[in-house]
Every structure is written in structure tokens, then in C-alpha cells.
Chain A
Amino acid sequence: MIEMAPGLITILMFVGLLGGLFLGQPLAFVLGGLATIFGVLGWGVDSLSLFINRINGLMEDYTLVAIPLFILMAQLMSKSGVAEGLFKTVQLLFGPVRGGIAVAVVIVSTLLAACTGITGAACVTMGVLGLPIMLKNGYDKKLATGCIAGSSALGILIPPSIMLIVMAEQSGETVGRLFAGAIIPGLILSTLYLTYILYQCWRYPHKGPALPKAERDAVTRPQLFKMLLTSLVPPLILIFGVLGVLFLGIATPTEASASGAFFAFVLYIAYGRFTKKGFIEVLTETAKTSAMVLVVMVGATCFTGVFMGLGGGDVVQEFILGAGFGKWGTFLLMMLICFFLGMFLDWIAIVMITFPIFLPIAQTLGFDTLWFVVAVAVMLQDSFCTPPFGYNLFYLKGCAPPEIKTKHIYLGAIPFWELMELGLVIVCIFPQTVLWLPSILIK
């Protein structure tokens, strides 16, 4: 055992975290490895049974059972081809408008976000469906990639969302209240994106020309109406089914996730996409993604246990409160910390590491916990399209045609990132945007 000052431990653990990540080791094991090293240095080998208690705690958590089920639902939805039908319809609907395809991307992403709780699938789907069409129609490359990267990040914010489930588990708020609280902020962001796209295309017509008349006339109005009905109604039933059941208190969020997965399975069959091979792929992807998310939580819970136990939490807390920035200055500082961590770390690790430190601070300063958690959620969803490590930018690069360079994707993401920050500012100025829906939906 070595006596180390908590301040030194704090710095060493975070330097170790960055160093380990740049070695290319999976985040989960870097977190776990650091917990082991500093646990042995600080307390000795005998103390490490702490890990097992914390891991067992994760394994017994009923709230987290919803995570694999929501991932299964998302995988089934993306295999069912709902997105393709929706996109085709909405794109024709907004055909006459300049920037109509980009508008369709945002609307479909928002709807998909309300059907799924993750972002990767939506980003790849929109990248594969929307990007080639936009490029073919002469859209600005930056606008085309930016609107996909930005709007598909909504998946992690608009309920159902596995990020809000992890946040509920960490903060003691209920999943229902967090889901209800995140709806309006999510829609605000979506509206901001739409406004931005329409303004840009109105001001600079070459950025997003309207669909050629020949293409629009290929589909008659009654046909379009029928397309709208078949592609829009089933996802809407799913959305209102899952969220309605949850808000009315008919079923727990975990049960709602299972029913949602079941309904997505029915859709998958009803759209005629079911194949044995496809279903096995769904199961494989679900297994990999679920294990990935929850194993990061395993590593992070061990890391946090050692970090807090050795006094690192107190150091950070004293640093933040002692900086003397006042109520909103401190809030800004916490958001900045989330932002910088978001450039390197996964949101799962950020939530698990920062929540035990930030929530007591927020309560001391008199912030409403529900509001604070949703504000952090808005902040963290932007880490998906923050260069250089935003996941959506990687997903998009992975599925984009070769003429799209990394430069286009990075530059394209920036305006949408700014809109996200604007959304956060709106949420801060008008806390009712978060608090109003839970107050009327959750009795």
C-alpha cells in the first residue's frame, strides 16, 4: 500500500485513462485495469472484492434489463425496412421544397429515434439511404453529411433511449420521468435542424435543389397517400404503444421494452422481410451491442468505485465548487467537463464517472435533478458528432461513397453541433421544456 494524496490519484487515474485509450485497448478493460492498479496501490489486494459487489449490483438491476431489449427492438426495426419506406414517402412529400431530401432525413431520423434507443443503426441507415440520393441531386456535401450525423444523434436522446435508462439507474430518477422530460428537448433540436436546413437552402439554392419535376410526377397523389399510410402508421403505433404503455403506468419501462421488441418482430414479419439468416444477424448484432454497452458499465462501475473510494470524487467536487463561478458558472463548468470527456470517452463511461460527482453538486446548487439529468443528456448526445471522435462521424465515413472526405463530414457536423448547443441554451433558459411533460404525464 502506498499513501497517495487524493489529488494525485485523481490526476493519475485520468491520465491513465487517456493513455490507455490511445493504446487502442477497449474502454471497458482500460477502466477495469486502472481500477485494479489503483485499488492495489491504494488499498491492497484484499480490497478488490469490491469489484464483484459492484458487478453483481449491475447484474441484479431490473432497470437495466431494458437495455438489451431496446437494442433488439432497434435491430429488428432497422431490418424490417420501415426506414426505407418512410424515407421514400417523406422525400416525395417534401419534393417540391428546396432542401426537401435533407428535411426528409431529419424527419425520418426523428421518427426512428422515437422507435429506437441507439444511434448507430439510424446513422448507417440514413447514410446508406439518404446520402447517395442527396449527392445525386447535387446537394452540398457538407449539408448532406451534417444533417445525417446531427439528426441521427437524436436516437440517444428521444425516448426510448438507453442513455436515459443508464442515467435513471445512476441518478435515482425514474425512467418514465426522464423519458417524458427528454421528449420536448429532442423535438426542439429536430425543429432547429429543420429551420437551419430550410433557411440555408432558401438563402443558397445550390446547396439543396428541389426534386426534379419528372421524379415527383412519377407518383400520383393517391399513391403517395397510400405510401404514407403503410409506411407511417405502423411505426407510429409502435411509438405510441411503447411510450403510452409506459406513461400510463400499464407496464414498467422494462416490460414496455419487451413489448416493443415483440411488436418490432411482428412488423419485421408483416413487411415480408423475415429470413432465417436475417434474424440470426439481428440476434448477433444485439448480442454484440448489448455486451459492449454493459461491459463498459462493468468496467466503469469498478473504476468509479475505486476513484470515489480513494477520494478522487471529493477532489473534483472541491475543485468545481471551489472555483467560485456561482450557480450558472459552475453549471457551465460541469457541461464543459462533459464536453471534453465526450471527445474521448463513450457516453456510458461519462455518465457512470461524472454522475456520482455532479449530482450532489447540482443538488447543492439548487438545480432540479430531473432537469439537470436531461440537460446532461442533451450535452452528451452532441458527443456523437463532435470531431474528432464522434461515433456518428465514423459510422457515416464507413458507409459514405468515396467522394465524401473526412473533411466534409467534420465541417458538415459543426453547424449541427452548434445547433445542439443552442438547444441546450433553450433548455437552460426555459426549464419548463423539460419539466412540463413529466408533470402532466406521470402521476
Chain B
Amino acid sequence: MKHILDIIDSISEFTGRICRWAVVLLAAVMCYEVFSRYVLGRPTIWSFETSIMLYAFYFMMCASYALLYKAHVAIDFFYERLTKKGQALLDVISTTLFFFPFLVVVFIEGSKFAADSWMLLERSWSDFAPPLYPIKTVIPLTALLLLLQGFAGFYRNIQILLTGECYETKYKEEPLPSCAPVITDIPEVNRIEVEKLEEKKND
């Protein structure tokens, strides 16, 4: 089972690692459009729809990555004050009540929606006429990725409830920027003095 959880975490991690570059592409496409319109004197027909698709792909595909790193905004005011087991219990309850029903619905309905588009090989009405079925497939795909990552969290919480421990994830949030500002511009002489002072303090 540990193996399966690791695979799920890695899937979220690697979709995130790849998809986070989409925003660079998005910025490049839009800047090219502005450049093309004013410098080359001809607006492109493809940039408008391409940028919308890149944006949709970007935020949807990064959702499970954000879930892996617990970046989705939540109120942890009370949650934080609980024991590890208490937190696991709340998580199990709230994921069963809210998370799974919602994403199962989005997955099923989204699959139908995407399937309809694939059947018609649907294209946009514009001059550029890009195919629409790939971006519509992103909806069930996102739901699936979120469900997988949600399942991994759910399994870990059940483990904690039963045994008090769980298979930890390899991918952890790096600690917040620390309170001590990094002082780089102290001259070397002063730095030695500061270090001496600190040593004295420690004694």
C-alpha cells in the first residue's frame, strides 16, 4: 500500500512540475500578441483562444499539486489545536461529506461532457477553430487527479486513526521564510565581532 501512496504522490508532484511551466508559455503567447499587433502590425488569430486554453489547463492541472502541498485555503484555527488523531478524524469526516461527493460528481458529469465533445470532434466557431475536446477532457482529468490525491490523504488519516502513524509523504512543504533576515552586507570585521558576541552570550 505504501507503494501505491508513493505513486499517487509522485503523479501529483510530476503533473505539478510540468504544468507549472504553462504560465510561462501563457505570458509568452500574450506578449507575442501585443508585439505582433503593434510592431509587426498584424494581430494573430490564434493567441486569444490559445491563451484561454493555457490558463484553464494551468489552474486545473495544478489543483492536485496544490492539494499535495496543502495549499488550498482552509481555516485551521481549531483544527490546529487538536491532537494528530483528532485532526485525522475531522479529515475523514469532512472528506467523506464534502470532498469525495463533489469530485465524484465532477468526474462523472465531466466525463460525459468531454465524451460528447469527443463524439462530435467539437471545434470552436472562430476563424482559428481549435479543437475543444482536449480542454474539456481536462475537467474529468483534474477531478481524477484530485480524487487520487484525496484518497491518499484519506488512507493516511485512517492509518493514523487505527495505529497512530501513517506512511509519510516524500513531498513536504519547505518551511516558511524564517524571522531572521539574512544579513549579507555586514563587513567581514564586524561579522567576526558579532560572532564573538554571540559566543559570549552562549557561554
A228 interface residue (CB < 8 Å to B)? no
CB distance from B137 to the nearest CB of A (A): 12
Complex Cα–Cα for A48 and B102 (A):
10
| B51 CB–A CB distance under 8 Å | yes
- Taken residue by residue from 91 to 107, chain B's Cβ proximity to chain A (1 for < 8 Å, 0 otherwise) reads as 10111011101110110
- Is A283 in contact with B106, judged by CB distance below 8 angstroms? no
Q: B87 interface residue, CB < 8 Å from A? A: yes
Q: Are B31 and A344 in contact (CB under 8 A)?
A: no
Known contacts A289-B71, A399-B179; is A25 also within 8 Å of B135 by CB? no
Known: A52-B139, A255-B30. A287 touches B95 (CB 8 A): no
In the complex, the answer to whether A295 meets B48 with C-beta atoms within 8 Å is no
Give the A interface residue count (CB, 8 A): 70
The 8 Å CB contact of A255, one of B23, B33, B65, B94, is B33
Most buried by B among A251, A284, A287, A346: A287
CA distance A60 to B54 in the complex (A): 10
Surface stretch bound by A, among B1-9, B108-116, B160-168, B193-201: B108-116
- Does B113 contact A20, Cβ atoms closer than 8 Å? no
Contact residues of B between 47 and 99, Cβ < 8 Å to A:
48, 51-52, 55-56, 58-60, 62-63, 65-67, 69, 71-79, 87, 90-91, 93-95, 97-99
Q: How far is the CA of A14 from the CA of B61 in the complex (A)?
A: 29
Residues of B within 8 A of A61 (CB): 52
Task: Say yes or no: B20 contacts A64, CB within 8 Å.
Answer: no
Partner of A292 from the list B38, B66, B93 (CB cut-off 8 Å) is B66
**B192 beta carbon closer than 8 Å to chain A:** no
- Considering the chains assembled together, what is the distance between the CA atoms of A27 and B16 in angstroms? 21
A287 touches B19 (CB 8 A): yes
Task: With both chains docked as a complex, state the minimum distance between the C-beta of A31 and any C-beta of chain B, in angstroms.
Answer: 8
**Which of B19, B21, B26 is within 8 Å of A65, CB to CB?**
B26
Q: How far is the CA of A200 from the CA of B59 in the complex (A)?
A: 45
Q: Pick from A48, A258, A296 the residue with the most CB of B within 10 Å.
A: A258
Known: A132-B181, A261-B27, A291-B63. A49 touches B112 (CB 8 A): yes
- The reply to whether A20 and B33 contact each other, CB–CB distance below 8 Å, is no
Q: How large is the interface on B (under 10, 10 to 19, 20 to 34, 35 or more residues)?
A: 35 or more
- Mark contacts of B14-55 with chain A using CB atoms, 8 A cut-off: 1 yes-contact digit, 0 otherwise: 001001110110110111011000100000000010011001
Q: Are B102 and A32 in contact (CB under 8 A)?
A: yes
- Asked if residues A59 and B56 are in contact (CB atoms below 8 Å), the reply is yes
**Residues of B contacting A22 with CB < 8 Å?**
75, 77-79
A251 to B178, CA, bound (A): 40
Cβ-defined contact, B51 with A30, below 8 A: no
For residue B19, which residues in chain A have a CB less than 8 angstroms away from its CB?
Answer: 287
Distance in Å: Cβ of B107 to nearest Cβ of chain A: 10
Query: Could you tell me which B residues sit within 8 Å of A by CB distance?
Result: 16, 19-21, 23-24, 26-27, 29-31, 33-34, 38, 48, 51-52, 55-56, 58-60, 62-63, 65-67, 69, 71-79, 87, 90-91, 93-95, 97-99, 101-103, 105-106, 109-110, 112-113, 135-136, 138-139, 176-181
Task: Write the residues of chain A forming the contact surface with B, with a CB cutoff of 8 angstroms.
Answer: 20-30, 32-37, 48-49, 51-52, 55-56, 59-62, 64-65, 68-69, 72, 124, 128-129, 131-132, 250-251, 254-255, 257-259, 261-262, 283-284, 286-296, 299, 302, 344, 346, 388-389, 398-402
Q: Which 6 A-B pairs have the closest CB atoms?
A: A33-B98, A24-B79, A258-B30, A32-B102, A26-B72, A59-B56
Q: Told that A29-B99, A64-B55, A399-B179 touch, could you supply 17 new A-B pairs with CB distance under 8 A?
A: A20-B97, A21-B74, A29-B72, A29-B95, A32-B98, A34-B98, A37-B97, A62-B48, A65-B52, A69-B23, A250-B38, A258-B26, A287-B58, A288-B65, A290-B59, A292-B66, A294-B60
